[in-house]
Amino acid sequence: MFTSRMDDALTEARAAAARGEVPVGAVLCDPQGQVVATAGNRTRELSDPTAHAEILTIRAACAAAGSERLPGHVLWVTLEPCPMCAAAISAARIATLYYGAPDPRMGGVAHGARVFDHPQCHHRPQVYDGIAAAESQALLRGFFAARR
């Protein structure tokens, strides 16, 4: 049975905002649909520019699986992944990517580097965009408005 995990990803995004992090959340599921990792951005907390929600879920799931690849896995993320995360998604062989809001400024899937469409990209996941995009966008807008 198909279950959307975008609500869980949004919960992670809200928790990230509460920590003072850019509100992006991600949920990674195994091929059976079980959640194997959830995360929100932690770049400030960890002083780590690579600590994006997607990277954190991929690291956790790979460590738990004892494998650098996650075939058949499904990643839900509230915002279009950046080029770094898109490259990690491809390297991990993730099967399906669902994301929320587009990110014309930093995105690397439908914008900018368009990592999955690049000839150097050897694994392209199925991509579905615009899932709960309005909610994801509102979270981001509220976060940046509050910091101005």
Catalytic positions are 54
In the complex with Zn ion, which residue's Cβ is closer, 29 or 41?
Answer: 41
In the complex with Zn ion, which residue's Cβ is closer, 73 or 108?
Answer: 108
Query: Hey, is 108 helix, strand or coil?
Result: coil
Q: How are beta strands 96-101 and 35-40 bridged, if at all?
A: unpaired
Binding positions for Zn ion, 52-81, rule CB under 5 A: 52
Is 51 a binding residue for Zn ion by CB under 5 A? The answer is: no
Q: Where are the alpha helices (DSSP H) in the chain?
A: 6-18, 53-65, 83-91, 133-147
Backbone φ, ψ for residue 12 (5° rounding): -65, -40
Q: Is 82 annotated as a binding residue?
A: yes
Binding positions for Zn ion, 84-103, rule CB under 5 A: 85
Q: Closest separation between CB of residue 115 and Zn ion, Å?
A: 11
Choosing from 36, 61, 75, 82, the residue that interacts with Zn ion (CB under 5 A) is 82
Q: Where are the alpha helices (DSSP H) in 72-120?
A: 83-91
In the complex with Zn ion, which residue's Cβ is closer, 33 or 139?
Answer: 139
Closest among 120, 111, 5, 112 to 53, alpha carbons compared: 5
* Size, binding site for Zn ion by CB under 5 A: 3
Which residues are annotated binding-site positions for Zn(2+)? 52, 82, 85
